[in-house]
Amino acid sequence: AGDGDCGHTHARAARAIQEWVRARPPPAAPAQLLSALADLLLEKMGGSSGVLYGLFLTAAARPLLNRSDLPTWADAMDAGIEAMQRYGGAAPGDRTMLDSLCAAAQALHALRSPGAELLPALAAAVQSAEAAAEATRHMEAGAGRASYISSAQLLQPDPGAVAAAAVLRAVLEGLQS
């Protein structure tokens, strides 16, 4: 869908992150880590995805400047999504990566509850994101490059939504290991 570059841009981002981690230890502070990742993706990823991830990570870093408890991570997710919506112009239901990210954010709101645990909340968020990505298969594209293509030709789930869910799964699996 769109111009077909989603896989290439995500692969370029993955390689850039791997090289970055091999070259130096990533910042330990969450806000600095997200800001550094934003800069890296803006520089190396390319495409509209690189810009959107950069916006997301830059905004998500702000709530984490002074705190990094579990409720603040939910706030960071919401801040990142709000920035993507404001600057990217898409909304949930438009058949974009926001469908996955917003579904995940809803599940991550559980982090605001007393006694919340990270891994179960993140696992629920990943499941929600993956289900939302699959649901894009039946949506009309209201934003992004896929919106320029006839809906009759959009037979697969939105690549950006699938990629965002895959990124969240990778984070979960990294934290579990």
- Whether residue 155 is predicted with pLDDT greater than 80 in this model: the reply is no
Question: Any idea which architecture 5-176 has in CATH?
Answer: Alpha Horseshoe (1.25)
> Do residues 93 and 57 make contact, with C-beta atoms less than 8 angstroms apart?
no
How far, in Å, CA of 110 to CA of 123, rounded?
A: 11
Place of tokens 């690189």: 50
Place of tokens 């939504």: 161
Dihedral of CA 74/75/78/83: which sign?
A: negative
How far, in Å, CA of 163 to CA of 53, rounded?
A: 11
Listed by start position, the domains of the chain span: 5-176
**pLDDT (tens digit, 9 = 90+) per residue, 14-66?**
999 999 999 999 999 999 999 999 999 999 998 888 999 999 999 999 999 99
Full-model pTM: 0.89
Single-letter amino acid code for the residue at 160: G
Average pLDDT over residues 149-171: 80
> Do residues 52 and 84 make contact, with C-beta atoms less than 8 angstroms apart?
yes
Phi-psi region of 47 (alpha: psi -120 to 50; beta: other; left: phi over 0): left
What torsion, rounded to 10 degrees, do the Cα atoms 83, 85, 89, 94 define? 150
Structure tokens at 18: 């791997």
Single-letter amino acid code for the residue at 19: E
- Whether residue 145 is predicted with pLDDT greater than 80 in this model: the reply is no
> Do residues 146 and 95 make contact, with C-beta atoms less than 8 angstroms apart?
yes
Better-predicted residue by pLDDT, 105 or 142: 105
Name the H helices within 45-158: 47-61, 70-88, 97-108, 118-135
